[in-house]
Structure 1
Amino acid sequence: MYDNMGNQAGVPRPPQNPQANPFGNTFYGAGSGIIRSGLEAYGEKFFGSSSEFMQSNISRYFSNPQYYFQVNDQYVRNKLKVVLFPFLHRGHWTRISEPVGGRLSYKPPVYDINAPDLYIPLMAFGTYIILAGFSFGLLGKFSPEALSLQFTRGLVGWVLQVMLLKGLLYSLGSGEAPLLDIVAYGGYAFAGICVGVFAKILSSYSYYFMMPWMSLCMGVFLVKTMKRVLFTEMRSYEKHSSRQHYVLLFMAIAQFPLFFWLGNVAV
């Protein structure tokens, strides 16, 4: 009377696999597709607007770090001539611009001698530490602690230089220059300091001539560079013209105590 599935003989059984409702699947698939596409569109809009916001605001203060290392041997030689002997630079001090993606951008250092780079400042800072260690060795005062202290002093001096330049731009209403540009400009001081420290290794008397000269050259270089940033890149020549000259003069004079403080590696 019962078959092997436990149903009574002669009584029809319900289908084992009932057919799914086609309208339900259709509505379900359409609904999930609409929700998924809506979420994707919202996500793209949200993250797209966020990335544009981040790029538009961060790019005002930072730049692509790779930009500052696009250099070659010819650029390094010419740039050192401009930094150490700014009086001999007969060319212009403005940077070369080019349109990129609908915006005005600047060519990298390898194509523009007036573009800032981080290769020379970092190499000059490393050379400064090496010369300091060599000076300690000649005086019989070399120790890891002394070299570490000199390294810290060099970093503090670099930070002070960056704060000086950044404060100058803020005081004149042009504080939106990229931070890495200011770091590069402040780091060029170590090229002149290295010359002064090397002169001191050769002769203590030449140090007192070379260090003031390097301070003067660095002051002239920074004045020319900051005037370009203020007048050309920031378009603020019309505002506070007399005040700008006094602030630039103060920046140039501030190079003398900074150079002598960082150059006295034996103290």
Structure 2
Amino acid sequence: MNPNANTNPMYMGPGGGYDTFRGGPPQPGRSPMGSGGGGGVGMGMPAGNVGGAGSSADALNDVLYGAGAGFVRSGLGAYGEKILGSGRSYVQSNISRYFTGHDVQYYFQVNDQYVRNKLKLLLFPFFHRGHWTRITEHVANGRLVYKPPRYDINAPDLYVPLMGFGTYVVLCGIAAGLDHRFTPEVLGTQFTRGLIAWGVQWVLMRGFLYALGSGEAPMLDLVAYTGYAFVGVSVSILSFVLMSWLYWIVWAWTSLCMGMFVVKTMKRILFAESRHYDRDSSRHHYILLLMAALQFPIAAWLGWLKR
């Protein structure tokens, strides 16, 4: 056995699959999400899997900074670049050390086509023609593992939630500036509010899964699923910046879409991934409906800028 081989169950090599927005059968050896490297501005990708926790943390930092730096410099200005730089330092000094037992790099294996399709899935889930299950494959030792995001649109990632969170904070600052209320404290307030909402959603989703008899979902999977809410919130705030009268219309649509995404995701975790759930129970209908309904007040609270 090669001592340098990556034995983490979450790690995947390139494999087959298909684009669930376009359909079609799997094509061996070809990624359904585009080229493995993932070109395009703001989509820098690690050159490959690097063994070891320290190397994985360094690769994560490179992904975060490299993927966002060009986007920030071209669109968000000095404030966005400062926030991204601070976030990179925070990840390096705090976050990575808590996940040395996880393959954090797995959640950043994305490319530009995956990001586009993921955004379409989050903002227009009713038009999604494919399935909602994750793609699996067998590895050498016989284990069944999930393909990384670049090969599977239904896989959780942390790139989209983190970029959505950063965009949310910056857009809140822009909205406050247009209303002549911008101060540095505005960014801090919205940053804290976003973290609180993210944490509350994570706790609720974890609690609901336990209540339904399944507590096996990986922590970072739930962090990713709950972080997708910032995509819809960012779109809502952007609509307010462009045309304020559109805000509540966009808010209602994005909250509804996020509610559907949460229901589909939790059903998949319960029925396909955990396999410890009693399908005859009627509790899941009410709990799933409650989780979907909570997306509306959470999005409204995040988007409330004391206008």
Please indicate, yes or no, whether the TM-score normalized by the shorter chain is above 0.5.
yes
Paired residue for 1:164?
A: 204
Structure 2 counterparts to residues 46-61 of structure 1, below 5 A: none
Structure 2 counterparts to residues 36-115 of structure 1, below 5 A: 63-100=102-139, 101-115=141-155
Taking the aligned partners of 2:306 and 2:107, their CA distance within structure 1 comes to 32
Paired residue for 2:304?
A: 264
Taking the aligned partners of 2:306 and 2:102, their CA distance within structure 1 comes to 37
Identity of aligned residues (%): 62
Paired residue for 1:29?
A: none
Structure 2 counterparts to residues 107-186 of structure 1, below 5 A: 107-186=147-226
Larger relative contact order, structure 1 or 2 (CA cutoff 8 Å, min sep 6): 1
In the TM superposition, residue 141 of structure 1 has moved relative to its aligned partner by: 1.0
Number of residue pairs aligned between Structure 1 and Structure 2: 206
Higher helix share: 1
TM-score by length of structure 1 reads: 0.75
TM-score by length of structure 2 reads: 0.65
Residue 223 in 1 paired to residue 263 in 2? yes
Taking the aligned partners of 2:277 and 2:121, their CA distance within structure 1 comes to 24
Taking the aligned partners of 2:128 and 2:213, their CA distance within structure 1 comes to 28
Q: For the Cα contact (< 8 Å) 1:107–1:115, is it kept in 2?
A: yes
1:241 match: secondary structure: coil
RMSD: 1.2
In the TM superposition, residue 265 of structure 1 has moved relative to its aligned partner by: 2.5
Instruction: Structure 1 unaligned segments of length 5 or more: list them.
Output: 1-61
Taking the aligned partners of 2:214 and 2:277, their CA distance within structure 1 comes to 10
Bigger Cα displacement from structure 2, 248-257 vs 167-176: 167-176
In the TM superposition, residue 70 of structure 1 has moved relative to its aligned partner by: 0.2
CA offsets, 1:56-79, max 9 Å, x none?
Answer: xxxxxx741100000000000001
Paired residue type of 1:83: L
Q: For the Cα contact (< 8 Å) 1:172–1:240, is it kept in 2?
A: no
Instruction: Structure 2 unaligned segments of length 5 or more: list them.
Output: 1-100
Bigger Cα displacement from structure 2, 255-264 vs 143-152: 143-152
Paired residue for 1:213?
A: 253
One of 242, 245, 266 as aligned partner of 1:202: 242
In the TM superposition, residue 266 of structure 1 has moved relative to its aligned partner by: 3.7
Taking the aligned partners of 1:262 and 1:240, their CA distance within structure 2 comes to 36
Q: For the Cα contact (< 8 Å) 2:214–2:277, is it kept in 1?
A: no
Paired residue for 2:228?
A: 188
